Amino acid sequence: MDQLLQHLLNGLVLGGTYALLGIGLTLIFGLMDVVNFAHGEFYSLGAYATFAGLSLADLNFFAALGVAIVCGIALGALTERVLLRPLRGHSIDTVMLVMIGVWISMQNGELLLWGGVAKSIAHPFPTSPLTLGGLSLAPLRLFVLAAAIGLVVGAHLLVHRTRLGRAMRATFQDADTAALMGVRIHRIYTATFAIGSGLAAAAGALLGSVFIAYPSMGDLASLKAFSVVILGGLGNIGGATVGGLVLGIAEELGAGYVSSGYRDAVGFVIIMAVLLVRPSGLFARAERVG
């Protein structure tokens, strides 16, 4: 029993991190239709920026997290402004190729700047776990889970309760009409990409201290983020959250009770099963007809 509960707890914490990765991408991939292969690189940017803030600028841990998120937003805005804006209206394949280029350049840039040796990010939380009966959880993971919940709720409110969110939804439903209604759609594109990248950087900043930072860390993050977005339904923040939790718990139980050699396979089998029944994901965005 303890073992099952511990697996569920692990799955919840892991799922929370997947959700965090997914919500940023669901904005960019789901709403903007940019197949953002560089999403994982903004994740590793967040981790390395936190590391730099702590070790080079001697910041406090929470300040370093903030700096990392700001870096993600700034670089995201720059990428959109410089690389994606001129390609507006081009085919999705062209944009995809450009994002593959961004992915490779950012990853190699990190390798050049920081070297191949993994970096460990210091954090102020005690390393001895919180325990309840047979269950244990590191305080840092609890903080990450809480922060993830906060960011998911924040992103949801931003999209559904603010003026900017309304403008975003209008732009991606019908850019021409939105422009005619006075929405400055170029700014909306930039803002959406920047927010999505900022969320990826936040995930990297939080998880960098749980795991370790190394140049290719973004590859796995990208893979999981795409899985979560597709599972949850494109462009749906609630869907990405549920998708993340489902994937986290499925992997955890698969590894615990089926075989750890097939851990990732279990996650993908679930995704395939869901897509067979619901081809647009668990919570698909309502498509406009006509």
Partner 1 sequence: MLKRWLRITVTVGVVAGLVSSLAGLDVARAQAPVRIGVIEPLSGPVAASGNYIRMGAEIARDWLNAKGGVLGRKIDLVIEDNKSDPKEAASAAEKLIVRDKVPAIMGAWGSSMTLAAMPKLEEYGVPMVVETSSAASITKRGNPWIFRISPPSEMEAVGLEQYVPKLTIKKADFLAVNTDWGRGSIQAFGDLLKKNGLQVGAAEFMEQSATDMNAQITKIKSTGGDTLFLTTAVEQITLVLKQAQEQRLNRKIITTGGSSSPTQLIKQAGAAAEGTYHIVFFMPWFPESMPDGKLAKAFVEEWAKRGHPFEGLTEGFRGHDGIMTIAEAVKVAGKDEPTAVRDALWRVNITGVNGPIHFEKDGPAGKESGQSKPSIFIVQIRDGKVALPEFARK
181 binds partner 1 (CB under 8 A): no
CB 10 to partner 1: min, Å: 4
CB 101 to partner 1: min, Å: 17
CB 90 to partner 1: min, Å: 30
Stretch that binds partner 1, among 7-15, 31-39, 68-76, 186-194 (CB under 8 A): 7-15
Stretch that binds partner 1, among 109-117, 164-172, 191-199, 227-235 (CB under 8 A): 109-117
CB 26 to partner 1: min, Å: 21
Cβ proximity to partner 1, 83 vs 262, nearer residue = 262
| 190-229 footprint of partner 1 as x/- string (CB under 8 A) | -----------------x---xx-xxxx-xx---------
Cβ proximity to partner 1, 80 vs 251, nearer residue = 251
What is the DSSP secondary-structure string of the chain?
-HHHHHHHHHHHHHHHHHHHHHHHHIIIIIIT----TTHHHHHHHHHHHHHHHHHTS---HHHHHHHHHHHHHHHHHHHIIIIIGGGTTS-HHHHHHHHHHHHHHHHHHHHHHH-SS-BPPP-SS-SSPEEETTEEE-HHHHHHHHHHHHHHHHHHHHHHHSHHHHHHHHHHH-HHHHHHTT--HHHHHHHHHHHHHHHHHHHHHHHHHHS-B-TTHHHHHHHHHHHHHHHH-TT-HHHHHHHHHHHHHHHHHIIIII-GGGHHHHHHHHHHHHHHH-TT-TTPPPPPP-
Q: Which residues bind partner 1 (CB under 8 A)?
A: 3, 6-7, 10-11, 13-14, 108, 111, 115-118, 120, 127, 129, 131, 136-138, 141, 207, 211-212, 214-217, 219-220, 251-256, 259-261, 263-264
